[in-house]
């Protein structure tokens, strides 16, 4: 049997879909290693083809390639469905196939981390409950091994009190200072001087809209790629 994880707006978190092999042609995950749209592939190539081919030493923006695509409910999209594709590090979306404006031809990078941290599943552009389904924040490790092997790692839920979503949190401007803050799985903030002494941890930018301080290493990565940072990553 073929199995795949997918985001379903009526099921909690990620749901496991199982399809018999003889019906795999009709399953949404059967071509998960292929690009669901040439527009997705063009955006990926602009950012990550050079990484895949060894022509640059920068890290991935999206990842080595797509691993899953699906049609997800979205109120403003044709027939209420939008095309999405998931990568190791992000999700791409085409909300309206008829429009191709902007630096990424109207491919959006989405706010998947906001959904995972806040627990608020976006089903449209609106602010009402018909287009925002509130759930619990995701209890999945942000990075590293799976939860079963990574019991003490912070989850997306750990960031709810310090990540700007709907909580009104904004940090003070700390440009010029160094980052040594730590975050525990329980959301507790600590400090490690040895981390603050690492190269690239000096804060280079303060984003006043989100209230986030951006260390130099992340700011350099955001702005060092071949596509506009605001289009690929949004506001930090």
pLDDT tens column, 29-79: 445 578 999 999 999 999 999 999 999 999 999 999 998 888 999 999 999
- Collapsing DSSP to helix, strand or coil, 44 comes out as helix
For residues 46, 48, 54, 59, the Cα torsion angle rounded to the nearest 10 degrees is 130
Determine the pLDDT at residue 11.
32
Closest CA to 189 of 218, 157, 162: 162
Q: Mean pLDDT over residues 19-23, rounded?
A: 33
Is pLDDT above 60 for 21? no
- Predicted pLDDT at 163: 84
Q: What is the rounded CA–CA span in Å between residue 51 and residue 63?
A: 9
Q: Are strands 2-7 and 14-19 parallel, antiparallel or unpaired?
A: antiparallel
Residue 1 has pLDDT above 60, yes or no: no
Check residue 23 and give its pLDDT: 29
User: What would the pLDDT profile of 133-186 be if each residue is shown by its tens digit?
Assistant: 999 999 999 988 888 888 999 999 999 888 877 677 888 999 999 999 999 999
pLDDT (0 to 100) of residue 32: 59
Long-range contacts made by residues 212-219, C-beta under 8 angstroms, separation at least 24? 212/164, 212/171, 212/236, 213/171, 213/173, 213/174, 213/175, 213/177, 213/179, 215/179
Q: What is the pLDDT of residue 145?
A: 84
Beta bridge partners of 207: 212
Mean pLDDT of 95-117: 89
Residue spans per domain, the chain: 2-167, 170-227
């Amino acid at each position: 049997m073929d199995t795949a994880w997918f985001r379903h707006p009526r099921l909690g978190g990620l749901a496991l879909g199982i399809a018999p092999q003889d019906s795999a042609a009709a399953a949404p995950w059967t071509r998960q290693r292929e690009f669901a749209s040439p527009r997705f592939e063009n955006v990926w190539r602009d950012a990550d083809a050079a990484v895949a081919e060894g022509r640059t030493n920068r890290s991935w923006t999206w990842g080595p390639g797509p691993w899953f695509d699906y049609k997800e409910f979205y109120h403003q999209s044709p027939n209420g469905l939008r095309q999405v594709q998931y990568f190791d590090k992000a999700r791409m979306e085409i909300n309206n196939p008829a429009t191709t404006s902007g630096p990424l031809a109207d491919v959006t990078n989405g706010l998947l981390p906001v959904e995972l941290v806040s627990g608020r599943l976006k089903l449209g552009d609106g602010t009402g409950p018909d287009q925002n389904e509130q759930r619990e924040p995701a209890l999945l490790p942000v990075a590293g091994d799976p939860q079963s092997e990574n019991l003490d790692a912070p989850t997306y839920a750990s960031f709810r009190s310090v990540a700007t979503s709907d909580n009104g949190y904004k940090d003070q401007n700390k440009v010029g200072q160094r980052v040594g803050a730590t975050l525990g799985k329980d959301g507790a903030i600590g400090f490690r001087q040895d981390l603050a002494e690492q190269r690239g941890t000096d804060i280079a930018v303060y984003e006043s809209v989100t209230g986030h301080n951006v260390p130099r290493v992340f700011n350099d990565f955001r702005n060092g790629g071949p596509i506009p940072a605001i289009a690929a990553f949004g506001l930090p």
